[in-house]
Amino acid sequence: MYFPLFEYSLVVYLVLDYANTKLSYKRGEIPTWFFKWSQIVAVLSIILSIGFRMIFVYVAYEDPGKHTAGFLGLQFALVLVAVQNTLYVVMTGHSYRFACFNLDTARTARIAWTYLILNMCITSVKLYGTIFIVKHGYGPDLYKQPSFIPGKATGQIIDAVWMLFNAVIPLIIASVRMNNETPLEIEISLPTPIYVGESSSGKSGEAAPLTSGSAASSYNA
């Protein structure tokens, strides 16, 4: 149940994030080229996230290459999301308050770029290993080598660091942004209905309200 929940949540997030980016574009906070980039990223990320379902279609011990291909698509989607979010924070010039730290625009930009660069470094290694598995059906020798931590293989360390930058740190970033940025509000409304008929007051035609029930007191002609 964990992976479908993550998949659905990610797709919902991607849709809402695109909506927020579009609103920022209409307010003039981001340039046109970045908005067009965001449109491409949104479509690709959603498609790659949906493709993550391949890990349930192909069993790992029967077809490890195709099984891992779904996870490969998810890794590319997370890279695109990281780049998108970093560029958005930098271009909109946000500043944040985190714990006892007040991060102005310049400090926020430096932290954002540092996170993105480090994330790209570990993700490059992770993508290499995943692509190798998709192509050959088994992991690269690098993953099997002993690491500097006794009892841990290099592949385990790579996976742990990758999870740190793509699962743990994003949760912290999301919490900081949630507490500092203006929330996205979704409003569901219904236009005032027009009824055909004759009311008790003698009014008739399309402007007449219902003559009974709670609707009659809610809508006036």
How many angstroms separate the Cα of 205 from the Cα of each of 32, 86, 164, 202, 221?
48, 57, 65, 10, 10
Contact 50, 7 (CB under 8 A): yes
Closest CA relative to residue 78, chosen from 102, 56, 59, 51: 51
- Segment 121-149, tens digit of pLDDT: 999 999 999 999 999 888 899 888 998 88
How many angstroms separate the Cα of 47 from the Cα of each of 8, 14, 51?
12, 11, 6
Neighbours of 175 (CB within 10 A): 11
The reply to whether the predicted model has a pTM over 0.85 is no
Does the pLDDT value for residue 183 go beyond 60? yes
Closest CA relative to residue 85, chosen from 32, 130, 24, 26: 24
Alpha-helical segments (H) within the chain: 2-26, 32-50, 54-57, 64-92, 105-136, 141-144, 154-163, 169-180, 214-218
The percentage of the chain sitting over the pLDDT mark of 70, rounded to a whole number, equals 85
Residues 6+ apart with CB under 8 A from 200: 211
Residue 1 is predicted with a pLDDT of: 45
Amino acid (1-letter code) at residue 140: P
- Segment 67-106, tens digit of pLDDT: 888 889 999 999 999 999 999 999 998 888 877 778 888 9
Q: How far apart are CA 131 and CA 119, in angstroms?
A: 18
Task: Compute the average pLDDT of residues 107-122.
Answer: 94
Q: How far apart are CA 123 and CA 134, in angstroms?
A: 16
Q: How far apart are CA 147 and CA 143, in angstroms?
A: 9
Q: How far apart are CA 75 and CA 132, in angstroms?
A: 14
Q: How far apart are CA 20 and CA 174, in angstroms?
A: 14
Residue 219 is predicted with a pLDDT of: 45
Q: How far apart are CA 210 and CA 6, in angstroms?
A: 46
Q: Please, is 202 exposed, middle or buried when counting C-beta atoms within 10 Å of its C-beta (0-12, 13-18, 19+)?
A: exposed
